[in-house]
Each structure stands twice: as structure tokens, then as C-alpha cells.
Amino acid sequence: MKFFKTLGFIVISALAINLSAQELTGHAIMQAMEDTRRSTNDSSFTTIKLSSCKFGVNEDRIACAERPRVKVLESVAINYGKDNKDTKSVSITLEPAAERGIGMLTYGYDEAGRNNQTWLYLSALGRVKRIAGGDSDEETEPVSIFGSEFTTEDTDNGKLDEYTFTVPEETTESGRKVWKVEALPKAERAKKSRYSRTVHYIDQERYVVLRSEMYDKYGKEIKRLMASRVELVNDNWLARSVTMMNLVSNRLSNMAFVEIYIDLDINDAFLSQRTLTDTAYRETGLEQLREQTK
């Protein structure tokens, strides 16, 4: 699952990165966003609150129609490999109580055709288990991220040449001047994608996607992403609240980056299977990271 390769930032940046480099303006936008993503993602320690619910419209507002189901995760990631483009990440579930301690380790590779690797630790299994089917780079079905409306395809990044995109239009979104860019997957990408096209609204000043619309092969909008709480984190803009609405199932998931720290001193060995199984080791490592954030 590539989500943890870029932690929270990816949802914003990856959607935009799916644009193509055919248009100079688009390429410049994408390059700027990619640079931002890389600089903010490295050596990060994040607390994420993932809330999902069925939604409806109440008093002219989108609202949860039920009490949201909430998951809280702690996640650690580092970039590595050629040009620092690959990522190792590990995430541990803190809440709900019934899922506490479930851990996931992911090695994400930027290289086309190279499968990501994911291992899961469930106390019921009593061992680390390799997971298959978690790679949207291959001809696989996108995988839901912790049961939410976010999938690996939504959070994938890189591979700009797999898309063509329209000439950016200038418009406004949430009171901000944005570029409206339509990304169309090329033939090979189209085989793997659930979306026939995606329309992004990218903040002109902050290089952050504020809204994205995903359409199926029949031209029907099936998902919509809305971003808010755009804040400066280490001199880079970041949307700390991202909501993905599934317009088919009328369910939404919000990913809130409650706490995020980057450029920490993270030992490469911490991003290993040992962190999943050796709780004493893991807690010691996490405590050291928490100390760094104080």
C-alpha cells in the first residue's frame, strides 16, 4: 500500500502528480508539488485520525448520517533508494481498542513494474504475514486503506507519463485561485484505473490540491476529494484534513493529520518486521520519536 510511502501528504500531492508532463504549465505545477512532497515526507512521524461514515445533506451541508467510525494510527516513514524515491513506512493502530496493536509495514518502490511489499501483524495470527494484492501499480484492484474510502489508487504517485492532461484553466475553489486540470490516463494506465478521468483543482499559490473529482468509464462522477486546513509545515503547505466522498455508496472518509513531524532522526532498522513483532523494541523507538517532537 503506497499510502504510507508518503504518509499524509500523498493524498494531496499524488492526485496532482498523476497529471502529465505534456503541458509545460502542468509539468511545472507537478514538479513543484513533487518537490514539496519529497521535502516534507522524509523521516516523518505522524498521528492520523481516519473517520468514516455514511453521509447525506442536512441543512444544505454534507453531514455524517451516523456516528463516524474512527481509527487512530501512528505512522513512521523514511525515504530511501535511488534519488530517495522509495519509501519504507510502518503504521500501528492505536484505536479502536479492538484493533490496537495491528501493525503494517510497507516498502514502496517508485520504479515502474516493481511491486510494493506489505507485511501485516495481527496478534490473532501470532506472526507476521505478507499481504498480496496491495499494489495498484500492477494490474490489481486498488486496495482500501484501513477499510476507508481511500484506496491505493487515490494515493498513488509518480509515473507522470502515464497521463495526458488538458490545458489548465484558471478558476476558484474555496475562495482560492486554482488551476483546474483534467488528467486522462493513457491506454496502459487506463487498464489499471477505476477512473476514466480525474479533475483536479490545484491551489495556484500553495501547490496543494483543494478538490478532485473522479469519473468512471461512463462519465459519471463516482468519488470526490475535498481538502481543507491547509497549513505551513516546515515551510511547505499541507492540507491536514482530506475527505474522500464515495458518491456511489454515499460513504465518506476523512483523513486528519492530527500531528505531523518531519526531518526526524529515524533509524532505518526501525522500518523492519521487527517493529511489528517486537513490542518492546517498537515502543522504545516510538518513545524516542515522541521525545524528538517535544
Kindly tell me which of 39 and 228 has the beta carbon lying closer to other proteins: 228
Least distance to other proteins from the beta carbon of 102, Å? 12
Kindly tell me which of 18 and 151 has the beta carbon lying closer to other proteins: 151
Least distance to other proteins from the beta carbon of 205, Å? 18
Least distance to other proteins from the beta carbon of 285, Å? 10
Least distance to other proteins from the beta carbon of 125, Å? 6
C-alpha cell at 119: 507485511
Kindly tell me which of 14 and 160 has the beta carbon lying closer to other proteins: 14
Kindly tell me which of 24 and 280 has the beta carbon lying closer to other proteins: 280
Least distance to other proteins from the beta carbon of 275, Å? 10
Kindly tell me which of 42 and 137 has the beta carbon lying closer to other proteins: 137
Least distance to other proteins from the beta carbon of 28, Å? 25
- Angle at CA of residue 137, ends 268 and 53, nearest 5°: 85
According to the 3-state scheme, what is the secondary structure of the chain?
Answer: CHHHHCCCHHHHHHHHHCCCCCCHHHHHHHHHHHHHHHHHHCCEEEEEEEEEEEEEEECCEEEECCCCEEEEEEEEEEEECHHHCEEEEEEEEEECHHHCCCEEEEEECCCCCCCCEEEEEECCCCEEEEECCCCCCCCCCCCECCCCCCECCCCCCCCHHHEEECCCEEEEECCEEEEEEEEEECHHHHHHCCCCEEEEEEECCCCCEEEEEEECCCCCEEEEEEEEEEEEECCEEEEEEEEEEECCCCEEEEEEEEEEECCCCCCHHHCCHHHHHCHHHHHHHHHHHHHHHC
Kindly tell me which of 175 and 235 has the beta carbon lying closer to other proteins: 175
Kindly tell me which of 162 and 173 has the beta carbon lying closer to other proteins: 173
Least distance to other proteins from the beta carbon of 22, Å? 27
